[in-house]
Amino acid sequence: MYLEVTTTDGQVIGRWPSYKRDALLPLVDATVRIRGTCGSQFNSANQMTGVFINIPYESEIEILQPPPAEPFNIATHAISDLLRFN
């Protein structure tokens, strides 16, 4: 199973080999702490293209803040403020 994890610095792929299907839903849009080992992804030219984290067990994912009850009632941002370098 691959998880797309968004951080303040960008996205990371989480590799979670042994998961239970019912464990996934509480993670969507939640703020979590993940413990695992990190690795790098490279392309055919041996250039680093990304980072991944290996998550060995479900117990290594801790929900710090559950997802909002109403996912469409979150703060909005102007389109001009998105994808800006800071």
Tokens found for residue 76 = 């909005």
pLDDT at 12 over 80: yes
Which pLDDT tens digit goes with each residue over 43-73? 999 999 888 999 999 889 999 999 888 878 8
Burial class (CB in 10 A: 0-12, 13-18, 19+), 12: middle
DSSP state of 59: G
- Do the Cβ atoms of 3 and 14 come closer than 8 Å? yes
Q: What is the pLDDT of residue 86?
A: 61
